[in-house]
Amino acid sequence: MVNDFSYIDENLRIIRERVGEAFGKYRKAGDSLRIMAVTKTVIPEAVNYAVSLGLDLLGENRVQEYLSKKDFYEKSAEVQFIGSLQTNKVKYIIDTVTMIQSVDSIRLAETISRLAVKNNKTIDILCEVNIGDEDSKGGISPCDTGDFIEQISQLDGILIRGLMTIPPPSDSDIFLGRMQELFNEVSEKKKSVVRMDTLSMGMTHDYADAIKYGSNIVRIGTGLFGARNYDIKK
Ligand SMILES: *Cc1c(COP(=O)(O)O)cnc(C)c1O
Q: What does 93-145 look like in DSSP terms, one character per residue?
A: HTTT-SEEEEE-SHHHHHHHHHHHHHTT--EEEEEEE-TT--TT--SB-GGGH
The reply to whether ligand 1 has any atom less than 6 angstroms from the CB of 201 is: no
The reply to whether ligand 1 has any atom less than 6 angstroms from the CB of 204 is: yes
**Dist. CA 100 → ligand 1 center (Å):** 15
Q: What is the pTM of this model?
A: 0.95
For residue 48, count other CB atoms closer than 10 A to its CB.
17
Nearest to 93 by CA among 110, 81, 108: 81
Would you say residue 177 has pLDDT above 50? yes
Residue 111 corresponds to which amino acid? T
Q: Is 134 exposed, middle or buried (0-12, 13-18, 19+ CB in 10 A)?
A: middle
3-state secondary structure of 163: strand
pLDDT-based confidence at 180, cuts 50/70/90? very high
Report the alpha-carbon distance of residue 215 to residue 199 in Å, rounded: 5
Calculate mean pLDDT across residues 34-60: 97
What is the pLDDT, as a whole number, of residue 3? Answer: 83
Calculate mean pLDDT across residues 14-36: 97
Q: Which residues does 192 contact at the CB level (< 8 Å), separation at least 6?
A: none
182 near 145, Cβ under 8 Å?
yes
**Dist. CA 218 → ligand 1 center (Å):** 9
183 near 210, Cβ under 8 Å?
no
Report the alpha-carbon distance of residue 227 to residue 221 in Å, rounded: 8
What is the pLDDT, as a whole number, of residue 230? Answer: 63
207 near 26, Cβ under 8 Å?
no
The reply to whether ligand 1 has any atom less than 6 angstroms from the CB of 100 is: no
Q: What digits encode the pLDDT tens for the residues 109-158?
A: 999 999 999 999 999 999 999 999 999 999 999 999 999 999 999 999 99
100 near 147, Cβ under 8 Å?
no
Nearest to 102 by CA among 165, 156, 16, 153: 165
The reply to whether ligand 1 has any atom less than 6 angstroms from the CB of 219 is: yes
**Dist. CA 205 → ligand 1 center (Å):** 10
**Dist. CA 78 → ligand 1 center (Å):** 17
Which atom of ligand 1 is closest in space to residue 228's alpha carbon?
A: 8
Pocket test for ligand 1, best of 38, 101, 215, 233 (most atoms within 8 A of CB): 38
Pocket test for ligand 1, best of 203, 224, 230 (most atoms within 8 A of CB): 203
pLDDT-based confidence at 184, cuts 50/70/90? very high
DSSP class of 190: T
Question: Which domains are delineated in the chain?
Answer: 32-224 (3.20.20.10)
